[in-house]
Amino acid sequence: MPIREIRFVRLVRHFFAGFMDNDLLMSAENGMQNALSQVLGLAVAPGLFYCLLITMKYGAVRYPRREIMAWDDRLLFVHCAMIVTGLLTVVEWDSLFPDQRDYQILTPLPLAMRLVFLAKVSSVLLLLVIFWAAGNIGPAILFPLVALTGAEVWFSILQHIGAQLAATFAASAFVFLLAIGLQGLLLNLLPPRWFRRVSVYAQLAALLALVLGFLLMPLVLANAGMWIRAGRPAMYLVPSFWYLGLYQVLAGRATPAFAALAALGVKALGAAAAISALAYFAAYRRHARRALESFDAGRSGTGFLSRAVDGVCNRFVLRHPLERACFHFMRATLLRSQIHRLLLAAYLGVGFALALCLVGFARSTAGRPTPELLSVQLVLSFFVLCGMRFVFTVPAELRANWVFQVAEPFGKSPYGAGVRKCIFAFGVFPVLAGLLPLHAFFWGWAVAGAHLLYGAALCALLVEALMMGFEKIPFTCTYLPGKANVKALWPLYLLLFWAYAYAMANLEAGLLARPLRYAAFCAGVAALTVVLRWYRHRQLGRGFHFLFEDVPDPAVRTLDIGY
Amino acid sequence: MLEVHGLTKCYSVVPAVDDVSFTVRPGEILGYLGPNGSGKSTTVKMITGLLEPTRGQVLYNGQNIQADLAGYKRRFGYVPEEPFIYPYLTGREYLLLVGRLRCLPEKALGERIDVLLGLLGLASDRHSLLSSYSKGMRQKILIAGALLHDPELLVLDEPLSGLDVTTALVLRDLVSALARRGKIVLYSSHVLETVEKICSRVIILKRGRIAADGDVRHLRDLAQAPSLEGVFAQLVLQQDTSRTADDIADAIALG
């Protein structure tokens, strides 16, 4: 093989390995190849399993009922292809263009810029193709065999296989190219400092949209048949319907509505491809130059308002130096560490999706709060607080934790107070304060105020419950996946969620008409919170040492009853 | 006074540090030398409480540090060998974190940080993220972090790594000045010239064991060597360095 081709292949391999070198995909123990096989395994399994699951569903049904039933499943495959590709794009957001390290290593080598560019583009496209193939080739072969009747000729089955492959690929490519185009446009249009900031929010918004898209999928599927038959305009707004249209056209089952949807999908794909190609090419050179320069060299410090708020907080709220240390460290990690931001955004997305469902299901009661609407605040706070509790266990720059280890002082309670205040500032406060104007607009200030008090009391209790037994300084301890034993404990978690978010909302709906009982309940919750806080304070007392290295559960657990 | 008695650290059964004992008095600068993998950093980590020794103990002012580890930790400043720091914090934020963990009063801490950053030439970069700092700038931040709380004991592990000439000279004079003010300094390094100039006493480590312990002049006399480098070469080096250099050059030419 000529040397140029060898270099090209090695560069493609290098860039592709870079996609797997990601905190969200690879841990130090499992390595790149294991990470790739695990992620591909996750992409392959659900589609195949679903095809086997629906075999019974089509068993006794005949055409044309069978065809209408198949719309839902085709839409599901297209929708899932888009969601999976979207998640992949969000996870690989910072690797879609070569990073600073790539430039620092590759620039001194005798490699033509064009060769590096072509290798990077090829690796990006390879990523798309591999993940699309892993998730969609199996179902594309199985599903037509399951869904078509025995009377269908083999040609028709082959046509359906081809249609599913083409539709899912077009859907995946649309999402992928859209993300690349968006990032390329931001790179071209924004100055470097703004790009970094806006890019982070674009990534978070994309993740939020994907989580919502995934969780609201059952709602879309439930209405798909009706929307298509009635030709509802809403379906033209949902991209997965465009590629369902393409599927139907390619499978020879087009109606005028499907043809219109397919045309829309093809145009959208063409636009995304054109924008991404232009933006990627234009942004590449610009990005190359920027990557070698320091992004942050020109930072001019925090603004006046931020300094003033910090000053007031440090003086009146965070009174102990250790509280300040913990609070500001946690704030910086939550706001600036990519992996922590993404994980938290995923939790928030789940909360948003459930909250939207609750709003959708809420009965119209002319300005009076219903249990469904009352539970929105609790659902959101539950996911935000549980998300924060989870991300605290994920380390940030683990090797830098020596600074906490060498300075570990007496009295761990101020650490606990710092953690608690950070949770309130960045978890409880945004949820409650964000919803308050909406509640006040719909229910009036009196009810909104009472609801805020109720939510704050329950949030405080949940915070104490979540922090019970937490023996770490957030982000500073090793992380052992699976230690939470979700597989065994999920019924308990579900019960807790139900009790916190729904049972408490039902109770509140009943208590709102009885102010005294309402106040007594809030006081009771506050008292319970104080008890838990006292217990936590004792836990963090003398003799307590923070955990910086989590240890796995022993293979054999003894009862410790010997002398 | 810092006393180390029979300090041993084994990984599996292989000793990285084997029965190391020494004492450092206030005002004394102890140079801790040895080739790569000789156990210098492991000793330092045991002295700072980051690693637990397999055997032996570290005493500070006559008391085992494990008896009051938190109290002991408040008294020392530490510059680690590798500049592992939180890259998403700015230089000033990192020092604020360190100072707050040391429970320093907020106002005094802010002032001290600004003074230190100014003296170390980092004032204009104080609001830049540490990820954008060069290796030398990170090292300066680590040094500032170790000095913030005016420690009684200073443990420096390769403190000159990445520093420019001016800062290296400043640090050299600073270590001497701190020793004159009664601080205990443990100075682990590969830079023999600096160690020879500032350290009152030197320990040379070889494969985890002490190969030599004494003041520089005494060691030079014993080894009949003109410099500490000569002493080090006699005790530790087992290869002809110029021959190895020639071999490397030959290997490159063959390639």
Ordered DSSP codes for B29-59 = EEEEE--TTSSHHHHHHHHTTSS--SEEEEE
Position B222, amino acid: L
Q: What are the per-10-residue average pLDDT scores of chain A (563 residues)?
A: 80 84 59 73 84 79 75 90 90 79 78 84 90 91 80 77 94 93 87 80 86 83 82 87 93 88 94 91 74 53 79 89 94 90 88 85 72 92 94 92 80 85 95 94 92 95 91 88 69 90 92 91 95 87 78 66 59
Closest CA to A406 of B53, B69, B95: B69
Please state, in angstroms and rounded to a whole number, the distance separating the CA atoms of residues B99 and A324.
10
Give the bridge partners for B154, in sequence order: B77, B185
Query: Are B80 and A408 in contact (CB < 8 Å)?
Result: no
Q: C-alpha angle A6/A8/A9, rounded to 5°?
A: 65
Q: What is the DSSP string of A356-396?
A: HHHHHHPPP-TTPPPHHHHHHHHHHHHHHHHHHHHHHTS-S
Query: Are A407 and B127 in contact (CB < 8 Å)?
Result: no
Residue A151 is predicted with a pLDDT of: 59
Query: Is residue B31 pLDDT above 60, yes or no?
Result: yes
Q: In what order do the strands lie in the sheet with B29-33?
A: B76-79, B153-157, B184-188, B29-33, B201-206, B209-214
Domains of chain B in sequence order: 2-75+153-254 (3.40.50.300), 86-151 (no CATH)
Of B50, B69, B87, the CB nearest to A402: B50
Position A142, amino acid: L
Of A300, A329, A406, the CB nearest to B48: A406
Q: How far does A312 lie from chain B, in Å, by closest CA?
A: 12
Contacts with B50 from chain A: Cβ below 8 Å: 402, 405-406
Contacts with B87 from chain A: Cβ below 8 Å: 397
Contact by Cβ (8 Å): A270, A279: no
Please state, in angstroms and rounded to a whole number, the distance separating the CA atoms of residues A514 and B89.
50
Average pLDDT over chain B reads 88
Q: Which residue has the tokens 């410790």?
A: A560
Query: Are A402 and B105 in contact (CB < 8 Å)?
Result: no
Please state, in angstroms and rounded to a whole number, the distance separating the CA atoms of residues A429 and A422.
10
Q: Which residue has the tokens 């009377």?
A: A151
Residue A366 is predicted with a pLDDT of: 65
Q: Which residue has the tokens 């093809």?
A: A266
Q: How far is CA A217 from CA A223, B84, B142, in A?
A: 10, 44, 51
Q: In what order do the strands lie in the sheet with B55-60?
A: B14-24, B2-11, B55-60, B63-64
Residue A255 is predicted with a pLDDT of: 87
The DSSP secondary-structure symbol of B129 reads B
Q: Which residue does chain A place closest to B155, by CA atoms? A: A406
Q: Which two tokens stand for residue A360?
A: 């959708």
Contact by Cβ (8 Å): A76, A54: no
Taking any CB pair shorter than 8 Å as contact, residues of chain B touching chain A are 48-50, 69-71, 73-74, 76, 78, 80, 82, 84-90, 93, 96-106, 109, 125-129, 131-132, 145
Residue A539 is predicted with a pLDDT of: 80
Residue B87 is predicted with a pLDDT of: 92
Query: Are B88 and A333 in contact (CB < 8 Å)?
Result: yes
Other CB atoms within a 10 A radius of the CB of residue A463 amount to 23
Q: Which two tokens stand for residue A237?
A: 């707004």
Contacts with B88 from chain A: Cβ below 8 Å: 332-333, 336-337, 396-397
Contacts with A337 from chain B: Cβ below 8 Å: 88
Please state, in angstroms and rounded to a whole number, the distance separating the CA atoms of residues A230 and A255.
12
Give the bridge partners for B201, in sequence order: B30
Residue B238 is predicted with a pLDDT of: 63
Q: Which residues contact B27 (CB under 8 A, 6 or more apart)?
A: B179, B180, B182, B183, B184
Closest CA to A396 of B48, B138, B85: B85
The sign of the torsion formed by the CA atoms of A469, A471, A477, A480 equals negative
Q: What percent of chain B has pLDDT over 90?
A: 49
Give the bridge partners for B64, in sequence order: B59
Q: What percent of chain A has pLDDT over 70?
A: 88
Q: Which residues contact A27 (CB under 8 A, 6 or more apart)?
A: A35, A481
State if pTM tops 0.90: no
Q: How far does A208 lie from chain B, in Å, by closest CA?
A: 23
Please state, in angstroms and rounded to a whole number, the distance separating the CA atoms of residues A417 and A537.
9
User: Taking the CA of residue A5 as centre, how many other CA atoms within 13 Å lie in the half-sphere pointing to its CB?
Assistant: 2
Q: Which residue does chain B place closest to A327, by CA atoms? A: B97
Of B80, B88, B128, the CB nearest to A299: B128
Please state, in angstroms and rounded to a whole number, the distance separating the CA atoms of residues A73 and A47.
11
Query: Are A397 and B85 in contact (CB < 8 Å)?
Result: yes
Of B101, B125, B131, the CB nearest to A403: B101
The DSSP secondary-structure symbol of A556 reads S
Contact by Cβ (8 Å): B158, B143: no
The sign of the torsion formed by the CA atoms of A503, A506, A512, A517 equals negative
Q: How far does B194 lie from chain A, in Å, by closest CA?
A: 26
Q: Which two tokens stand for residue B7?
A: 């300090």
Q: C-alpha angle A462/B103/A530, rounded to 5°?
A: 25
* Number of helices (H), then strands (E), in chain A: 22, 0
Contact by Cβ (8 Å): A88, A210: no
Taking any CB pair shorter than 8 Å as contact, residues of chain A touching chain B are 294-297, 299-302, 314, 321-322, 324-325, 328-329, 332-333, 336-337, 396-397, 399-400, 402-410
What is the phi-psi region of residue A232: left when phi exceeds 0, alpha when psi lies from -120 to 50, beta otherwise? beta
pLDDT tens by residue, B65-114: 888 888 888 889 999 988 899 999 999 999 999 999 998 999 999 999 99
Q: Which residue has the tokens 């798309």?
A: A128
Residue A170 is predicted with a pLDDT of: 96
Residues in chain A: 563
Query: Are B98 and A410 in contact (CB < 8 Å)?
Result: no
Please state, in angstroms and rounded to a whole number, the distance separating the CA atoms of residues B182 and A165.
77
**Where are the alpha helices (H) located in A21-153, listed in sequence order?**
31-53, 55-59, 65-91, 100-106, 113-147
Contacts with A294 from chain B: Cβ below 8 Å: 128, 132
Q: Which two tokens stand for residue A481?
A: 């996946």
CA gyration radius, chain A: 27
Q: Is A404 helix (H, G, I), strand (E, B) or coil?
A: helix
Contacts with B100 from chain A: Cβ below 8 Å: 321-322, 324-325, 328
Q: Which two tokens stand for residue A327?
A: 């609070």
Residue from B52, B66, B78, B86 whose CB has the most chain A CBs within 10 Å, to mutate:
B86
Q: Which residue does chain A place closest to B46, by CA atoms? A: A406
Of A301, A329, A410, the CB nearest to B97: A329
Please state, in angstroms and rounded to a whole number, the distance separating the CA atoms of residues A402 and A391.
20
* Omega before residue A491 within 30° of 0, cis: no
Of B49, B86, B101, the CB nearest to A396: B86
Contact by Cβ (8 Å): B6, B55: yes
Residue A552 is predicted with a pLDDT of: 67
Contacts with A404 from chain B: Cβ below 8 Å: 101
Query: Are B100 and A324 in contact (CB < 8 Å)?
Result: yes
Q: How far is CA A458 from CA A356, A374, A377, A523, in A?
A: 21, 13, 11, 11
Please state, in angstroms and rounded to a whole number, the distance separating the CA atoms of residues B25 and A134.
66
Contact by Cβ (8 Å): B121, B140: yes
Buried b (16+ CB within 10 A) or exposed e, A185-197: bbbeeeebeebee
Contacts with A407 from chain B: Cβ below 8 Å: 73-74, 98, 101-102
Other CB atoms within a 10 A radius of the CB of residue B184 amount to 24
The helix (run of H) or strand (run of E) holding residue A222 is: helix A217-230
pLDDT tens by residue, B188-240: 988 888 888 889 899 988 888 888 888 888 887 777 777 777 777 777 766 67
Confidence of residue B4 (pLDDT cuts 50, 70, 90): very high
* φ, ψ at A402 (rounded to 5°): -60, -30
Please state, in angstroms and rounded to a whole number, the distance separating the CA atoms of residues A395 and A131.
28
Give the bridge partners for B205, in sequence order: B210
The sign of the torsion formed by the CA atoms of A136, A141, A146, A149 equals positive
Contact by Cβ (8 Å): A380, A329: no
The helix (run of H) or strand (run of E) holding residue A266 is: helix A256-292
Contact by Cβ (8 Å): B148, B98: yes
Other CB atoms within a 10 A radius of the CB of residue A292 amount to 11
